[in-house]
Structure 1
Amino acid sequence: MNFTKHALGTLCGAMLLTGAAWAQKGETVKIAWIDPLSGPFANIGQNSLKTFQFVAEKVSANNPAGVKFEVVSFDNKASPQESLTVLKAAIDQGIRYVTQGNGSGAAGAIIDAINKHNERNPGKEVVFFNNAAVDPDLTNSKCSFWHFRFDADTSMKMEALTTYMKDEKNVKKVYIIGQNYAHGHQVAKFFKEALARKRPDVQIVGEDLHPIGSVRDFAPYIAKIKASGADSVVTGNWGTDMSLLIKAAKDAGLDANFYTYYAGANGSPSAIGPMMDGKIKFVYIGHQNIPELAKWTQEFSAKFKDDLSLLSTLHVLPTLAAGIAKAKSTDPVKVAMAMEGLTVKSFSGDVTVRAADHQLQQPLYIATWSKITDPKKQWNAEGTGYTWVQNKVFEPYVSSTPTSCQMKRPGA
């Protein structure tokens, strides 16, 4: 992948000029991947695992520290409790780096457990790379030196989404629907706050929070949305909760535009299909039609017969490799210190680990579900004949929300 080769190659060259010697060259760094491989969100987890394994192979072949990466998978069934069980198993195996992303509840549990482990076991510290759990509290009131987030959080995405929506004059009546856990609550909260600032004329005509991962028929919810007269729906749903929500909207003939976080995630494009042409948008850190992603997108599809959709995972290992190179060590404490304030080249340009809270600062994109018009340049999302057409790119400063984090660093 060009961005990885350029970013890490440049850093490698700079370090070589200083005559740095890599004592850990050829060392294998293990990453414990903790996410669902069973249950209602298994498809999302399986896609994430494939992506990490794919990126590990690519980055292992070319990185400035000369290390190899091995991804060791653990099924947490999307459960915070199960996450703690498999985290202990990973630590018992001597793994010092952990990644997880599907569910902020699980992420919060992992952060708490790692904080306690590291305090009680100096010299055996563990670092957590959060690739997709987006509850803003994780880098605010619950921030930790041992936690780094590579996706944009809920508030950042909502800042970009509502900046786009404020100029959409057809948005007059909005219905909010989401999963009844931290992320769903935060989507509703930040949408209402941003709307009051940017489009106070817009009416919120309804709001629902449903059980996560257990609703099999969203028809009753869609009926309420239809009855409300909403012209727009805002949702943070993901996985089967996203796919089944869209299916119910199609079946009911709901004439509304959807503003989403995760309509591009694994399985959702197939559920959307041709009936929602132009009616679904998402806000995310990228999309499959970014030219710098083309080579990896094609290779991933050929290898796994699946789409490369969880793009936040693409930042984790390149940034870790750059941190190891800067630290001249694979020791988690030294690497975490080195990663603070680190900037690397990405498929979307420069991305930076903000030292204050370890939240990655990066561009955000708005894209719309549309019929393919140029098959040579546009990605055929899940073989549907449709793709994500870019509407807007927001530079990091637009969505960079402030943090209340009071970081406690080792030795402080």
Structure 2
Amino acid sequence: MRRLAMITATAAAALGATALHAEPLKIGIIESLSGAQTSTGRLYANAVKYGVDRINEAGGFNGEPVIVTEYDNAGGAPDAADKFRNAVADGVHVIFQGASSAIAGQLTEDVRKHNLRNPGKEVMFINLGGEAMELTGEKCQFYHFRYTTTAPMRVNALVSAMKEAGDLGEKVYSINQNYSWGQDMQAAVAAAAQTGGYTVVDEVLHDVNKIQDFAPFVARIRAAAPDTVFTGNWSNDLLLLMKAVGDAGLDVTFATAFLDQPGNIANAGKTALGHYIANNYDNAATDGQFAETYKTATGHYPIFVEGHSAFALGALQQALGTVNFGGGDIGVTKIALALENTTYDSPLGPISVRKEDHQTIRPVVVSKVIENPKYPADDTKMGFATVKVIAGDQAIYPVQDSCKMERPKA
């Protein structure tokens, strides 16, 4: 009898130890936290931490608080590959990254190879900002989820809204960065010409984040005399382009993807008035409740990439609520399957993920720069007013033929 009691006590102690040492969910932010893309990378990290705080305030996951670790990729794909190896060594389950499609391309391939070599110890990649089409095309894979738009989604939204507003014109200029994302933008602008009723009078692809003076490009734009300039530029390339436009006093409407990046409105000055952006999120397009909640938590309203990135964490939190590992080992595949079946009700409308390629189906907001907005930008008296919100089912495009996703075996 005494021996039975000892065995029972030992078993109970073991169960107690298991409960005390449940596996925590580990999230890694592999982001550009130094170098030219620091300002953008830091905003992605802010939003991820905001979302994780919401998960932990609600009780965490698997009996433990979610752990977040930052890894600085210094704005380069080779550094991102190194940091991915560090994250795997640290036991990270889910990685987040947003600044740069080139880095996203490196990470999704690293994740794919790791998961092939380590069945049962998979890692998931939630892509917040890498918008190159190939990421849900020839590079699509089950453990990559993209929670942002792509070039066709942004360009088609801009063309639709600007044409309705009578601001598109008949002559369009295209200037973009010379890599996968910029090439996608250039292709999308050309593809929308017939629908938009315009002619592309000139198009330019330039080096990424290496040009210090965009004055020659602005002179070329002026010579082409377009009605609208489309650009997918971001980071320093957009900041410096806006500065050159402002310095030259160029009177032309810009149709952009990232005009809400901090500094752009201030750099362009009054020249920015009337410029357009198609984006994942705009405070002015909502009832303001999320904006105020975010400000209370972080000290500022969500800007640039923070809003939609926080919604990705909201979707993850919702998915985690449907998965129970009982404090035991975490299975990333089960989390990925749950995320596939999650529809998150954002302030702009429902956000889901298409199972065939893991491209987000989400609303796209088209906004215009005005004076005296509800949410001023860059400590100026200018900011964004919502022109049109395109619902997710209207903004999305068919699955690319090049996506041949292999799903995990049941």
- TM category (shorter chain) comes to 0.7 to 0.9
What pairs with 1:204-223 in structure 2 (closer than 5 Å)? 204-223=200-219
Offset of residue 60 of structure 1: 2.0
Mapped partners of 1:172, 1:293: distance in 2: 38
When the two structures are aligned, how many residues end up with a matched partner? 381
Q: 1:312-336 CA distances to partner (integer Å, 9 max, x unpaired)? A: 2112222222222222234211111
Equivalent position of 2:42 in the other structure = 46
Question: How far is 1:298 from its partner?
Answer: 2.7
Q: Give the gaps of 5 or more residues in structure 1.
A: 1-22
Match of 1:157 in 2: 154
Structure 2: which amino acid aligns with 1:409? R
Q: Deviations 1:277-329 (Å, cap 9, x if unpaired)?
A: 22x11001111222233313432562xx6853212211222222222222223
Distance 1:34 1:229 in 2: 42
Task: Tell me how far apart the structure 2 counterparts of residues 256 and 381 of structure 1 sit (CA, whole Å).
Answer: 20
1:284 matched to 2:279: yes
SS of match in other structure, 1:387: strand
For the pair 1:55 / 2:36, whether they are aligned, the reply is no
Give the 5 Å matches for 1:7-156: 28-62=24-58, 68-156=65-153
Under a length normalisation based on structure 1, what TM-score does the superposition of the two structures give?
A: 0.87
Aligned to 1:293: 290
Letter matched to residue 179 of structure 2: Y
**How far did residue 165 of structure 1 move?**
3.1
Q: Determine the structure 2 residue equivalent to 1:342.
A: 342
The 2-side partners of 1:169 and 1:39 are apart by: 40
SS in 1 for 2:119: coil
> Aligned pair in 2 of structure 1 residues 52, 25: CA closer, same or farther (>3 Å)?
farther
Task: Quickly say closer, same or farther: Cα 1:222–1:115, change in 2 above 3 A.
Answer: same
Q: Determine helix, strand or coil for the equivalent of 1:161.
A: helix
Q: What percentage of residue pairs aligned between the two structures are identical?
A: 29
Q: Is the 8 A contact 1:261 1:284 kept in 2?
A: yes
Distance 1:24 1:361, change over 3 A: farther
Aligned partner of 2:338: which letter? A
Asked if the contact 2:24–2:66 (Cα under 8 Å) also holds between the matched residues in 1, the reply is yes
How has the CA–CA distance of structure 1 residues 67 and 339 changed in structure 2, closer, same or farther, with 3 Å as cutoff? farther
Normalised by the size of structure 2, how large is the TM-score?
0.87
**2:319–2:335 contact (8 Å) kept in structure 1:** yes
Equivalent-residue separation in structure 1 for 2:297 and 2:213 (angstroms): 32
Q: Which amino acid aligns with 2:361?
A: Q
Per-residue deviation, residues 103-127 of structure 1 (Å, max 9, x unmatched) = 1111111111111111111121100
* Correspondence list, 1:242-321, <5 A: 242-278=238-274, 280-289=275-284, 290-291=286-287, 292-299=289-296, 302=299, 308-310=303-305, 311-321=307-317
Name which one, 1 or 2, has greater alpha-carbon Rg. 2
Q: 1:339 is paired with a residue of what secondary structure?
A: helix
Contact 1:266 1:307 in 2 (8 A): no
Aligned to 2:187: 189
Q: What is the aligned partner in structure 1 of residue 7 from structure 2?
A: none
Whether contact under 8 Å (2:245, 2:271) holds in the other structure is no
1:172 aligned partner, one-letter code: E
| 1: CA distance, partners of 2:136 / 2:331 | 23
Q: Which residue of 1 aligns with 2:392?
A: 396
Secondary structure of the 2:321 match is helix
Shift of 1:272: 3.1
Contact 2:291 2:301 in 1 (8 A): no
Aligned partner of 2:209: which letter?
A: G
Matched position secondary structure for 2:25: strand
Aligned residue identity for 1:356:
E
Give me the whole-angstrom Cα distance separating, in 2, the residues matched to 1:267 and 1:162: 25
